[in-house]
Chains A and B, each alone.
Chain A
């Protein structure tokens, strides 16, 4: 085997598979990522991208073995995988809509608050108080860093999708995982904001030193960020390698990209983009 030793990988998954009834949604997918690496996942709708994330983070009990760092997390509950260093964002970035931004960040500090147990918080004992005030401080810092100052006491449901996305990333930062799974960070936000995602995600990666695995339909964003791209179709890996190799792979072209060069190169915001899953800006509605 020419792959790196599991111990040096931030994430390694072997033979991930799952069937829903008769449908083989994922079939023997291998995926690995080194610390600091950005891996892109592409594929048409129904290829199994989100299902793969669900298997990796434990929301769906799939086949195969999964390691985070050198810890095997196969069969573990999602919250234990999170504790092992696996962070994840969701496509809709719904977060907790009756909470304020600040409270959401506190919730994200969960993994750093093991000392604040039921009994100590019930009686307001010192371990709980210290953990709480520490969490509050780092949440405040994060609010400042991400420019969320004006939104600190806003409810999540009052925010636009773009802002929720930032809060979501801030939560990931607070969690400080060693592997981050991002499910379509550009969905539901405007073109210009999506362009800003590239440097933001790089910074996030640099800061955490984590492996970043992202699903993305925005080809320019994906190809610009990813050091390695995995193309999925109907639950199988059809191509894997450097971005420029994968986009030229005949099967990828046939199944997903089509032969329109517009699809993979960034063009003016108003140009028609045949294969892109971008919704018009909904952010300004609320």
Chain B
């Protein structure tokens, strides 16, 4: 019983988080990965006001809550609404950008001096640091000690939940929100101000998140520099999913339950990783067993998967123009020279850094295959890399296998695990799959990478031949092999089928394409590539545990791919360089530049340039080509119909097309 109470205190975080997620999903049809950051922002404001500015508790509380609500409203108005018609993946990734942006806001707030004068990134925990409205003598209850902060959480949490439930049920805004969640077009036609209602939902979500974070910060602690933990977000998400993203009350209840479970599991096993697996299972089971709102709305909206216009090749006359070919050849030689000579001109740390960028590029390409082509939203690519890294390290260090044997085994295991991850994907789509893969990323870091049978010592040996330069060239070779293979893929049957399956699975089936096998092929290929890169990654840094392959980077990688341009190989590589390069080379300008570049850069790109950086690059290519060759590069889009009425004459040739004389080698002719 004492543990249950303690669990409920912890569970309050999940519960309020889940409620906020449901609210935002109802209004914007997106899982708001920035939700936790809204609350963390309020906590940072609170700290700044009470500690640095010595403001009265209640006044500071009011300001923090209001600022979080205002921030939520701004986000909804300026970003989410613009993207409402975009594919859900883009919206989901935009919330990652929002989260990174809020972190930057939080970091520039004045920070209170840490107790004991430590550095400013100190971890704040306990009521002695975080302000409380009143204090009481801690009460002992069984095995737990309850202070004022616990009682506040136990009382205020349910009150907030009750207020939200009552609001949804009885206020006109609440009813309007529920209506537009069910059918937004209809709601709009009925005269509901859908936009205002949506902003309202965001404000409430922001305020809830703020209250939740402020009452919980004294209990679970708060770090001003780190992102709000994905494991907590996953618990909230699991509760929200169990409530089918439509019932705020259920979400609250399940969230509490997960908190209790967390506490019990922690008490019995001394670890919290097991709960990550349970959370993953809850998500998987609820998604697979219920045909809830998520499934319905998602599949209806996702059917128009359209990230942006695909990048077209140059017209054949331009591509074959001798001067253009010469230019391409020169450019290629220049690039090759740069790539080959680079490691001899740069210092060791720079070369090492470049090698890691090449490896991230490989993982980004693997995400392109899976998400860009096959349309399977994956937020867990880095965890697949981790499979290769952690397991491969065990093969090398504990099993003492030769390096290359371990490399192949690691890549194969990556493919196998990706295949297993692909099985639920056969029944899930879009956002639902994104949640499952994110759950996988969290569970892998929290549980799988900690298991004795999977993880070795946590260290990785670097073979003797592996100097930094060799490391660079091996990474380069892996990237080149990846690009070669995926390009061959993209241009031929299997890659084409992936895109066909993404665009219109029913039509693909009717044409005889094995849809299931095509999807699974994408998973396996992407798993192999990611795991191979992960293996080399851990070889480079010498570490192979969950700290290296945490879930946050999985999110960064998918945003890098979107920044670069989802769907094109070069886009993935450009994205990887952008995402890795700016923090590395820009660190001297400002420590926040990385977050700012990926956060704000992501949002700007998604809104202004949906094709990603690749579009800019290829636009440049087109201009260059037309300047060099003097030919018109733009393919004219003639919006005309070859009317069916003109056809019968043209079709006279149809009889001359002998089916047996067709140059088709296979024996599939009837």
Contacts and interface: CB of A to CB of B under 8 A. Distances in A.
Interface stretch (B352-360, B496-504, B626-634): B496-504
A122 B485 contact: yes
Nearest to B509: A78
Q: Of B309, B507, B640, which is in contact with the most chain A CB atoms at under 10 Å from its CB?
A: B507
A163 B642 contact: yes
Interface stretch (B145-153, B207-215, B653-661): B653-661
Interface string B96-134: 000000000000000000000000000000000000000
A146 B647 CA distance: 7
Interface residues of A, number: 88
Nearest to A162: B641
A196 B493 contact: no
A38 to B, nearest CB: 17
B650 interface: yes
A158 interface: yes
A250 interface: no
Given A57-B510, A107-B508, A115-B666, A284 B641 contact: yes
B653 A145 contact: yes
A150 B644 contact: no
A94 interface: yes
Interface string B294-329: 000000000000100110100000000000000000
A98 interface: yes
Interface residues of B, number: 59
B492 A116 contact: yes
Contacts of A224: none
A48 B306 CA distance: 32
Interface stretch (A26-34, A199-207, A211-219, A271-279): A199-207
Contact of A155 (B310, B511, B655): B310
A128 B648 contact: no
B377 to A, nearest CB: 16
Contact of A79 (B312, B515, B663): B515
A98 B499 CA distance: 8
B665 interface: yes
A132 interface: yes
A147 interface: yes
Contacts of A123: 485, 488
Nearest to A120: B492
Interface stretch (A1-9, A170-178, A251-259): A170-178
Given A116-B493, A121-B495, A178-B670, A107 B511 contact: yes
Contact of B499 (A96, A122, A194): A96
A130 interface: yes
A189 B488 contact: no
B489 interface: yes
B513 A166 contact: no
Nearest to A116: B493
A249 B489 CA distance: 56
A103 B493 CA distance: 10
A107 B492 contact: no
B492 A132 contact: yes
A273 B491 CA distance: 48
Contacts of A245: none
B320 to A, nearest CB: 15
B604 interface: no
Nearest to B651: A203
Interface of B: 306, 309-310, 312, 485, 488-489, 491-497, 499-500, 503-504, 506-516, 521, 525, 635, 637-648, 650-651, 653-655, 657, 659, 662-666, 668-670
8 contacts: A79-B512, A90-B507, A111-B511, A117-B494, A122-B489, A141-B657, A145-B651, A158-B639
